[in-house]
Amino acid sequence: MKISFLGQGFESSSTDAIGNYLIHYLNQQEFHSFTGISAFASEAGIYGLSAYIQTAKSYFQNLSLIVGIDQDGTSKEALEEILNLDINSYIFYQNESPIFHPKIYLFEGNKEIKIIIGSSNLTGRGLFRNVESSLLIEFETNDKEGLVLLNSLKLYYHTLFDFSDPNLFKISQFVIDDFKAKGIIPDESDRKKFYSNKKSTTVSSSTPNSNNILIPTRATATTPEYFSVKPKPRGTGGIVQQPIIVSIPVSSQQTIVTQPITTQQLTRNLVWQKLSLSRSDAQFVPAGTNGTGNLKLSQSSYRHNGVLINHNIYFRNQLFQNLSWAKTKSNSSSYEETICNFDITILGTSYGTQPIKLSYDPIRISNQANTPSWLHWGNNLMTILQQINVTGRTLNLYQSGANFAIEIV
């Protein structure tokens, strides 16, 4: 069993922000179940996770959320965002004075279990910006000590984990409207007013007198760009964003909901190119053979500013250096992963913005000049690629400020 401390918000850049770990694990196909228990949830927190939860629905068997609503901590709009996820979701509420305050995020797989327990709520600030502390507990399913811990957790909260507790209310529009009518939950605007009722302090460089306290300015963490912000309604002055729905003609007629993209377009710069994709790159392999699921980010004779790139460092330390990388393997001190949003266009068809995992491990470098940086297509794009033969086509990777796009032509 491995236990790691996760701190966030105490410095301006928080690699270990809980939001990064939730996004990363929701994109892992080795897990079959996720249970999130949070004291509070905000509209921004749930909306920012929604695209990743929609992706997880394609390979997780069970996705469950339980949220509290005490102290105006969860708004009507947040509950409606949860309802829109179309997963197993509940409100916990009691009339008695003790508030519901746990924050537990449990990922279960056939081989490994990961538990995050700490102070981060399912709010935008709680996931990325607030000063928070959590523990990440990782163990394999044959770890006796880990299983004892998991069983103790599930035993103590057994009526939550089996959804039999009498104070659990299945989230529905009727329940949301009823709780709002009774004054139990606020609107999002009222929730923000309640939690933003903190007077700003002007910091003076002069020596304070006896009636003033000088409070120094402190750098604070920011919310990453890959955590989507819900678009403002028309007429409010914001950029209008529309979710893109992509229907894929498969036997199950599944529908993929991608993240919203803005109508604002930036200048795109070509930052890498791979000519003539191989069958392995294209994931177009013979029947009965599984694709690798990976695109190795090699040199591919690509020149950046007229100089051949060093693919061993170009992708991790230059192109994607500002992403939130995390060491995610307990048995490796060198392996790192991150999630990057890419605007995807394949043979002229736009598939919207897709969260894609990138991994880096210098151990992959060998005398045969193997590539340390890999792009992992994920289940959604694998489905697309396996039905569209892009073998021999060219893949262009573009960058527009902090945004990235992949175009296969």
Mean pLDDT, residues 238-254: 35
Q: pLDDT confidence of 245, banded at 50, 70, 90?
A: very low
Average pLDDT (59-83) is 95
Average pLDDT across the chain, whole number: 85
- pLDDT tens profile 342-393: 999 999 888 888 889 999 999 988 755 589 999 999 888 888 888 888 999 9
Q: Tokens for 143, please give them.
A: 């770890």
Q: 352 vs 88, which has greater pLDDT?
A: 88
Asked whether the predicted pLDDT for residue 160 surpasses 80, the reply is yes
Query: Closest Cα partner for 108 from 45, 35, 27?
Result: 35
pLDDT higher than threshold 70 for residue 206: no
Residue type, 332: S
Residue tagged 């690699």 (tokens): 15
What is the DSSP track for 189-203?
HHHHHHHT-----PP
The domain segmentation of the chain, as residue ranges, is 2-195, 241-408
Residue 48 DSSP label: H
Q: How does residue 56 score in pLDDT terms, banded at 50, 70 and 90?
A: very high
The pLDDT value recorded for residue 232 is 64
pLDDT above 50: residue 260:
no
Please check the confidence at residue 62 and state whether its pLDDT lies above 50: yes
- Residue 44: DSSP 8-state: H
Taking the C-alpha atoms of residue 160 and residue 154, their distance in angstroms, rounded to an integer, is 8
Query: Rounded to an integer, what distance in angstroms lies between the CA atom of residue 389 and that of residue 404?
Result: 23
Question: What's the pTM value of the predicted model, to 2 decimals?
Answer: 0.58
Q: How far, in Å, are 75, 83, 93, 119 from residue 160 at the CA level? A: 21, 18, 12, 19
Sheet containing strand 395-400, strands side by side: 269-274, 395-400, 403-408, 336-346, 349-360, 373-376, 294-296
pLDDT digit string, tens, across residues 99-136: 999 999 999 999 999 999 999 999 999 999 999 999 99
Averaged pLDDT, 231-255: 41
Residue 157 has pLDDT above 90, yes or no: yes
Contact 330, 2 (CB under 8 A): yes
Amino acid, single-letter form, for residue 124: G
Residue 271 tokens read as 């930052």
- Mean predicted confidence (pLDDT) in 226-236: 68
Q: What is the pLDDT confidence band of residue 184, given thresholds at 50, 70 and 90?
A: very high
Distance CA 193, CA 345 (A): 41
Between residues 216 and 93, the one the model is more confident about: 93
- Give mean pLDDT, residues 182-206: 69
In the DSSP assignment, the letter for residue 226 is T
Lowest mean pLDDT among 187-196, 226-235, 246-255: 246-255
Instruction: With a cut of 60, say whether residue 259 has pLDDT above it.
Output: no
In angstroms, the CA 129 to CA 14 distance is 8
Q: Please, are residues 334 and 341 in contact by the beta-carbon 8 Å criterion?
A: no
Structure tokens given for 76: 């009507």
Domain 241-408 falls under CATH 3.30.457: no
Q: Which residues pair with 405 in a beta bridge?
A: 343, 398
Specify the CATH number of the domain 2-195: 3.30.870.10
d(CA 192, CA 49): 19
Do the beta carbons of residue 263 and residue 239 sit within 8 Å?
yes
* % of the chain surpassing 90 pLDDT: 59
In the predicted structure, residue 294 carries a pLDDT above the cut 60: yes
For residues 188 and 358, the model is more confident at 358
Do β-strands 349-360 and 336-346 pair in parallel, antiparallel, or remain unpaired?
antiparallel
Q: 253: which residues sit within 8 A by CB, 6+ positions away? A: 247
Q: Can you tell me the distance from the alpha carbon of 82 to that of 89, in angstroms, rounded to the nearest whole number?
A: 7
